[in-house]
């Protein structure tokens, strides 16, 4: 067992994990942050995407011990403390960017990273950004529309991302 | 449009049905607080893994569990023999069947003597964590003797072919014929007869959440099962028949379900094994399917092989269609022959066909069992019919839209009775729809008439562009009923309980909208409990695009009954005539004046108080349960036009434009309808170009990751242009038709039609799905060698 300490959604956590425990399993089962979902466990579907030290990673391909000392952001940290949804979450609901919701946390975290780096992406940049996130329900179009609706393209003010 | 004119309308509340209402499901799902199967936590929960067969067909010589059982953290390692004290049968019952029961094609709970596909569950491991359970599974030592493998459905019936399971005499599970009219006469008198061999492959369902089961042992010998299923009531009934437990001590719940798409429509061995093990061990257990398990154990639709002949007159009017079809059923059949039966009875689609005959062989192979994936046999039917129509059009030089127009059922022939029967024996009656108008609208929107000019110009630039179209119909709203209950509690909160299953499609929001309009409230505060056998006594669940029609109708009638009861009760309590009262935003108010009473207060009065007076002439409870009955189907229709560009040197297809019309009757929530249509189309695009579940000659699966099995991603699809019509369904109280599958059904046919059209200069005929770049490249090269095109491609 290994001791690790990390910051998840601005809260410090410490605990012991087996070296082989993935970051996604640690978040889900040790910290109870079950919003991070596992869709393939081989790094393709993107459902487990979280942000580690500012970069999106596959929670299923990273070991929890590798996140020692890291700043981790998950879907649970997106909405405000009072429950007010993040602009992107709100846009997903408004534009029907989710159906079953299983891929949604990974989609959101991937897009948060995109919008931090490229605040006004083109449609193609949005599609490229989520090309590593599989969604069986939506056909992606409503997700793309949701993102573009919060970047002022077309319409709407740039989000606080 | 409006059909609610007979009811008193509220003063404040705008109608919700027909509006793009945001979904009541979204909040928890967006914030990471959904509760999917793997999110369920119970005290002292143990975790399970299955040992699965590594061989497609083998005799099991011995199973050595010693090393696995000795691993620290392992609680039990169980074979079928170990589970039998808690099971009435080691064999699974037949699903979707009025008789149920086991037969020689239903799977085993666990297999210990012979295995018939790679992935077949054999041993159940129970441990303190999934990690340890998988460690232990790897320590189970099984000795096999290989047996001959049936890997190709087309060879399964050949003389001397091995059988896929030694208990069978033949791989033929079923042979049946459907048809009508004098087919031979139609062909004898036809001006033209054309024929083709078609292969269709549909792959897997691949909801992003796999299957999973949690079994909780409760005090009093009760057992609560959570399953990521489309069919909680089916699981409940079948589990009650399988386990040595009284039905009343069993409860099945669906948590949030991360997509269904067909594979969760079956009752699986794991759903019997886990509850049996929980009863045996008296422990709470969880199993969550990983993606590799999805590939080798969840239902696939896979392969059908069609040999078809079509007869037409000189103008391309259909005279007859005949042929045979081989359906790959895989190693077992968890359901009867519904899927191939759907395929061959749906072939005639929206067209008038005077004579038809099909001969179908349903054959076993040593592969994962087959049942429904979104569309359930209909996409293959549409592909067959549309490809045959294109064949006629190309051969006779008729425009592909024209040949369809000449053969579509005209609107004035509705309702139109097909000379085919459902498996129940009932006639297939198309209730409503205007197929010619739908096609005309789509081809106008897609610029079909101008396309030949654009194509000519592109070809001059060395670019191969093509356009294709396809029509489809889908029987939706399958009965016999779905439960819908509406209850108002003493705080005024409105709740809906239904046997319909929520699996991501937004059924809760749509039902809430219907209920809201009847009660003159907003839908946002309504709670919907879908898929809990303790809350809804009987139900059927999610399949065949049925829930909006069936559950929606029941909820509408239940909410209407509650509304009427509220008015009646308020009339007694307020001493105001019913005709002077109306519902308004949670209250019953006097139309003129200030008198009112809240729904919560009415519910409190109607729940009764011991010894106090009860309003005269009223039944207790402010609630109603309706199980609206139907045997008829509501037929939704779609027409798709796809435009593509093909690079003949790479076999690469780019979809450049996609226009789709969908008519699913009344749209309760147009936003949700759009989501279903778009998602359905993209599923069909996957079927046309990408998704392939491969096996080698020994029936070893070749595609067991998303790196090998290609799902459509965001960069492969253009913005889909969708058009919606609302031909109201005459046969149900809400006028709706199902929409979950209509997007998928014609999509592959439209895309392949476009690809073939783009390659018209080469004279390529495409008779299969999916079409990979490699396949296309080979087709082009073969055609090139056969006859050089006028100009070489240069892209």
Q: What is the pLDDT of residues B352-409, one digit of tens each?
A: 999 999 999 999 999 999 999 999 999 999 999 999 999 999 999 999 999 999 999 9
Q: Is residue B131 classed exposed, middle or buried when 0-12, 13-18 and 19+ CB atoms within 10 A define those classes? A: middle
Minimal Cα–Cα distance from A5 to chain B, Å? 22
Q: Is A137 within 8 Å of chain B by CB?
A: yes
pTM of the model: 0.96
Q: Which residue has the higher pLDDT, B2 or B38?
A: B38
Decide if pLDDT at B100 tops 90: no
Q: Is A74 on the interface with B (CB under 8 A)?
A: yes
CB contact under 8 A, A35 and B32: yes
As a CATH number, domain B377-477+632-786 is: 3.30.365.10
Domain range annotation of chain B:
26-34+479-629, 377-477+632-786
pLDDT band at B424 (very low <50, low <70, confident <90, very high): confident
Tell me the two tokens of residue B202: 């549909």
DSSP state of B756: H
Q: How far apart are CA B196 and CA B387, in angstroms?
A: 9
For residues B307-333, give the mean pLDDT.
Answer: 98
**CA-CA distance, B622 to B615, in Å (whole number)?**
12
Kindly state the average pLDDT of the residues B7-35: 85
B22, B28, B290 ranked by CB distance to A94: nearest: B22
Overall average pLDDT of the B555-566 stretch: 98
Q: Which two tokens stand for residue B363?
A: 């054959």
Mean pLDDT of B530-547: 96
Assess whether pLDDT exceeds 90 at residue A11: yes
CA distances, A25 to each of A18, B211, B335, B553, B662 (Å): 11, 18, 35, 42, 42
So what's the pLDDT on residue B788?
62
Other beta carbons less than 10 A from residue B792's beta carbon: 10
CATH code for A2-75? 3.10.20.30
Topology at the third CATH level for domain A87-149? DNA polymerase; domain 1 (1.10.150)
Q: Give the Cα separation of B296 and B485 in Å (integer).
A: 39
Beta-bridged to residue B226, according to DSSP, are: B214, B253
Q: What is the pLDDT of residue A159?
A: 41
The dihedral through the CA atoms of B459, B464, B465, B470 has a sign that is: positive
Find out whether B504 and B257 touch, Cβ atoms under 8 Å: yes
pLDDT at position B421 is: 87
Three-state DSSP class for residue B73: coil
How far is residue B194's CA from residue B645's CA, in Å, rounded to a whole number?
Answer: 28
Q: Is the dihedral of CA A39, A42, A47, A52 positive or negative?
A: positive
Query: How many CB atoms are located within 10 Å of the residue B241 CB?
Result: 16
Strands (E), B204-336: 212-218, 222-227, 250-253, 285-288, 303-312, 318-330
The owner of tokens 């008296």 is B282
Contacts of A87 in chain B (CB under 8 A): none
Interface check A132 vs B, CB under 8 A = yes
Which two three-digit tokens encode residue B110?
Answer: 């666990």
Phi, psi for B200 (deg, rounded to 5): -130, 135
Say if the Cβ atoms of B711 and A134 lie within 8 Å: yes
pLDDT at B234: 95
Chain A residue numbers touching B640 (CB-CB < 8 A)? none
3-state SS class at B282: coil
Helix (H, G, I), strand (E, B) or coil at B339: helix
Over residues B699-712, the mean pLDDT reads 98
> Is B364 within 8 Å of B105 (Cβ atoms)?
yes
Q: pLDDT tens for residues B333-353?
A: 999 999 999 999 999 999 999
- Contact (CB<8Å) A131/B715: yes
Q: Hey, do B26-34+479-629 and B377-477+632-786 end up sharing a CATH topology, with the first three levels equal?
A: yes
Greatest CA separation for chain B: 95
Taking CB atoms and an 8 Å cut-off, how many pairs form between chains A and B? 173
Q: Judge whether B588 and B599 are in contact, CB under 8 Å.
A: yes
Residues paired with residue B459 on neighbouring β-strands, in sequence order: none
Beta-carbon separation of A45 and B706 below 8 A? yes
Q: What are the residue ranges of helices labelled H in B409-520?
A: 435-445, 451-460, 507-519
| Residue A95 distance to chain B (closest CA, Å) | 8
Helices B378-396 and B400-407, packing angle to 10 deg: 120
Rg (CA), chain B: 28
Q: B261 contacts in A (CB within 8 Å)?
A: 136
| DSSP count for chain B of H helices, then E strands | 19, 29
Distance of CA A27 to the CA centre of its chain: 13
Q: B272 near B89, Cβ under 8 Å?
A: no
- Nearest neighbour of A42 by CB, restricted to B131, B705, B720: B705
- Closest by Cβ to A75, choosing from B32, B504, B506: B32
User: Using the beta-carbon criterion (under 8 Å), do A131 and B713 form an inter-chain contact?
Assistant: yes
Mutate to test the interface with A, among B26, B703, B740 (most CBs of A within 10 A): B26
Q: Where are the domains of chain A?
A: 2-75, 87-149
* 3 state SS of B123: strand
Contact residues, chain A, for B506 at CB < 8 Å? 99
Backbone angles phi, psi at B693, to 5 degrees: -100, 100
Instruction: Please tell me the distance from the alpha carbon of residue B470 to that of residue B349, in angstroms, as a whole number.
Output: 11
Q: Determine contact: A140 vs chain B, CB below 8 A.
A: yes
Per-residue pLDDT band at A152 (split at 50, 70, 90):
low
In this prediction, residue B741 carries a pLDDT of 97
Which residues in chain A have their CB less than 8 angstroms from residue B672's CB?
Answer: 96
How far is the C-alpha of B399 from the C-alpha of B416, rounded, in Å?
A: 26
Rounded CA gap, A72 and A55, in Å? 9
Is A139 within 8 Å of B291 when comparing Cβ atoms? no
pLDDT at B423: 75
Render the burial of B736-759: b for 16+ CB within 10 Å, e for the rest: bbbbbbbbbbbbbbbbbbbbbbbb
Q: Are strands B250-253 and B527-530 parallel, antiparallel or unpaired?
A: unpaired
Q: Is the dihedral of CA A46, A51, A56, A62 positive or negative?
A: negative
Q: Which residues of B78-101 are buried (b: 16+ CB within 10 A; e: fewer)?
A: bbbebbbebbebbbbbbbbeeeee
Contact between A127 and B705 using a beta-carbon 8 Å cutoff: no
Is the CB of residue B684 less than 8 Å from the CB of residue B748?
Answer: yes
Give me the phi and psi of B741, to 5 degrees please.
-120, -15
**CB-CB neighbors (< 8 A) of A40 in chain B:** 291, 705-706
Please say whether the beta carbons of B339 and B360 come within 8 A. Answer: no
Contacts of A130 in chain B (CB under 8 A): 713-714
pLDDT at B9: 43
Q: Which residue has the higher pLDDT, B75 or B4?
A: B75
Chain B partners within 8 Å of A18 (Cβ): 131
Going across the sheet that includes B114-115, the strands are B114-115, B58-64, B141-146
Q: How far is B517 from chain A (nearest CA, A)?
A: 21
Rounded Cα distance, B636 and B727, in Å:
9
Whole-number Å distance between alpha carbons of B583 and B338: 45
A10 touches chain B (CB under 8 A): no
Instruction: Dihedral sign for Cα B294, B298, B301, B303, please.
Output: positive
- Residue B754 vs residues B93, B606, B702: alpha-carbon distances, Å: 44, 63, 29
Average pLDDT, chain B: 95
Query: Which residues have CB under 8 Å from B592's CB, separation 6+?
Result: B580
**Location of structure tokens 């090139």:** B784
Coil, strand, or helix at residue B115? strand
Interface TM-score (ipTM) > 0.90: yes
- Exposed e or buried b for every residue in A142-161, given b needs 16+ CB within 10 A? bbbbbbbbbbebeeeeebeb
Q: Is there a contact between A161 and A113 (Cβ–Cβ < 8 Å)?
A: no
Q: Which of A88, A100, A145, A149 to mutate to test the interface with B (most CBs of B within 10 A)?
A: A100
User: What's the average model confidence in pLDDT over B466-491?
Assistant: 97
| Among candidates B207, B256, B705 on the partner chain, residue whose Cβ is nearest the Cβ of A136 | B207
CATH topology of domain B26-34+479-629: Aldehyde Oxidoreductase; domain 4 (3.30.365)
Picking from B31, B230, B542, B709 by the largest number of A CB atoms within 10 A of its own CB, the best residue to mutate is B31
Quick one: pLDDT band at residue B12, thresholds 50, 70, 90? low
Per DSSP, helices labelled H in B39-87 are 66-70, 80-83
Angle, vertex CA B207, rays to CA B644 and CA B682, nearest 5: 15
């Amino acid at each position: 067992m290994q001791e690790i300490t990390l910051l998840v959604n601005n809260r410090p956590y410490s605990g012991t994990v087996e070296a082989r425990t993935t970051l996604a399993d640690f978040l889900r089962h040790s910290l109870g942050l079950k919003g991070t979902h596992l869709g393939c466990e081989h790094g393709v579907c993107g459902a487990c995407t979280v942000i580690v030290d500012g970069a999106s990673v596959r929670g299923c391909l990273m070991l929890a011990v590798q996140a020692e000392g890291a700043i981790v952001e998950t879907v649970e940290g997106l909405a405000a403390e009072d429950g007010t949804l993040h602009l992107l979450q709100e846009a997903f609901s408004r534009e029907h960017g989710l159906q079953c919701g299983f891929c949604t946390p990974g989609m959101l975290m991937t897009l948060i990273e995109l919008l931090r780096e490229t605040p006004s992406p083109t449609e193609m940049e949005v599609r490229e950004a989520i090309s590593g996130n599989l969604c069986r329900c939506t056909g992606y179009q409503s997700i793309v529309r949701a993102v573009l609706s919060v970047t002022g393209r077309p319409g709407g003010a740039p989000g606080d991302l | 449009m409006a059909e609610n004119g007979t009811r008193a309308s509220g003063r404040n509340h705008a109608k919700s049905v027909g509006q793009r209402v945001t979904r009541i499901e979204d909040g928890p799902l967006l914030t990471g607080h959904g509760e999917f199967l793997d999110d369920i936590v119970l005290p002292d929960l143990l975790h399970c893994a299955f040992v699965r067969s590594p061989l497609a067909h083998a005799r099991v010589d011995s199973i050595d569990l010693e090393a696995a059982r000795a691993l620290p953290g392992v609680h039990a390692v169980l074979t079928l023999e170990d589970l039998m004290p808690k099971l009435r049968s080691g064999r699974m019952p037949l699903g979707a069947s009025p008789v149920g029961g086991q037969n020689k094609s239903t799977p085993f709970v666990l297999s210990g003597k012979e295995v018939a596909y790679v992935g077949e569950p054999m041993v159940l491991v129970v441990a303190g964590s999934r990690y340890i359970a998988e460690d232990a599974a790897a320590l189970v030592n099984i000795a096999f003797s290989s047996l001959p493998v049936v890997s190709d459905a087309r060879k399964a019936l050949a003389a001397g072919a091995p059988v896929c399971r030694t208990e069978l005499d033949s791989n033929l599970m079923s042979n049946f014929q459907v048809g009508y009219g004098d087919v031979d006469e139609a062909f004898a008198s036809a001006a033209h007869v054309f024929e083709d061999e078609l292969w269709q492959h549909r792959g897997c369902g691949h909801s992003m959440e796999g299957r999973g089961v949690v079994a909780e042992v409760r005090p009093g010998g009760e057992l609560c099962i959570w399953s990521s299923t489309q069919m909680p009531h089916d699981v409940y009934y079948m589990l009650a028949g399988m386990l040595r437990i009284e039905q009343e001590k069993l409860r099945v719940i669906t948590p949030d379900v991360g997509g269904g798409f067909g594979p969760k429509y079956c009752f699986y061995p794991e759903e019997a094994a886990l509850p049996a093990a929980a009863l045996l061990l008296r422990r709470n257990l969880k199993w969550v399917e990983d993606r590799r398990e999805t590939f080798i154990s969840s239902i696939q639709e896979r392969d059908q092989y069609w040999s078809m002949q079509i007869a037409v007159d000189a103008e391309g009017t259909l005279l007859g269609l005949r042929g045979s079809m081989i359906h790959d059923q895989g190693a077992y059949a968890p359901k009867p022959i519904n899927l191939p039966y759907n395929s061959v009875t749906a072939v005639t689609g929206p067209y008038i066909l005077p004579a038809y005959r099909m001969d179908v062989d349903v054959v076993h192979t040593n592969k994962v069992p087959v049942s429904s994936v979104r569309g359930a046999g209909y996409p293959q039917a549409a592909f067959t019919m549309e490809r045959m129509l294109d064949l006629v059009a190309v051969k006779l030089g008729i425009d592909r839209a024209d040949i369809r127009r000449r053969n579509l059922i005209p609107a004035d022939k509705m309702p139109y009775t097909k000379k085919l029967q459902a498996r129940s024996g009932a006639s297939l009656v198309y209730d409503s729809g205007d197929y010619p108008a739908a096609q005309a609208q789509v081809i106008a929107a897609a610029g079909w008439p101008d396309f030949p000019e654009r194509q000519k110009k592109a070809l001059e630039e060395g670019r191969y562009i093509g356009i294709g179209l396809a029509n489809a119909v889908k029987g939706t709203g399958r009965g016999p009923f779905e439960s819908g209950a509406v209850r108002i509690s003493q705080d005024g909160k409105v709740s809906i309980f239904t046997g319909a299953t929520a699996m991501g499609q937004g059924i809760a929001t749509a039902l809430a909208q219907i209920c809201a309009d009847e009660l003159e409230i907003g839908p946002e505060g309504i709670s919907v409990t879908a898929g809990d056998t303790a809350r809804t006594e009987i139900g059927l669940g999610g399949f065949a695009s049925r829930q909006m029609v069936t559950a929606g109708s029941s909820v509408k009638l239940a909410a209407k009954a509650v509304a009427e009861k509220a008015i009646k009760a308020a009339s007694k309590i307020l001493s105001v005539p019913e005709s002077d009262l109306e519902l308004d935003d949670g209250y019953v108010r006097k139309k003129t004046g200030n008198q009112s009473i809240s729904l919560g207060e009415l519910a409190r009065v109607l729940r009764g108080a011991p010894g106090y007076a009860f309003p005269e002439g009223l039944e207790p409870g402010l609630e109603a349960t309706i199980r609206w009955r139907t045997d008829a189907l509501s037929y939704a229709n779609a027409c798709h036009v796809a435009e593509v560009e093909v690079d003949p040197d790479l076999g690469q297809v780019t979809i450049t434009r996609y226009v789709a019309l969908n008519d699913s009757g009344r749209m309760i929530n147009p936003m949700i309808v759009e989501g279903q249509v778009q998602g359905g189309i993209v599923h069909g695009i996957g079927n046309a170009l990408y998704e392939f579940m491969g096996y080698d000659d020994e029936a070893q699966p070749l595609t067991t990751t998303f790196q090998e099995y290609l799902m459509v991603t965001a960069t492969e699809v253009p913005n889909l242009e969708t058009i919606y019509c609302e031909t109201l369904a005459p046969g149900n109280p809400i006028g709706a038709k199902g929409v979950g599958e209509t997007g998928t059904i014609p999509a592959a046919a439209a895309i392949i039609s476009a690809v073939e059209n783009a390659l018209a200069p080469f004279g390529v005929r495409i008779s299969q799905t999916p079409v990979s770049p490699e396949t296309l490249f080979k087709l082009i090269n073969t055609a090139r060698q056969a006859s050089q095109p006028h100009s070489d491609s240069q892209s």
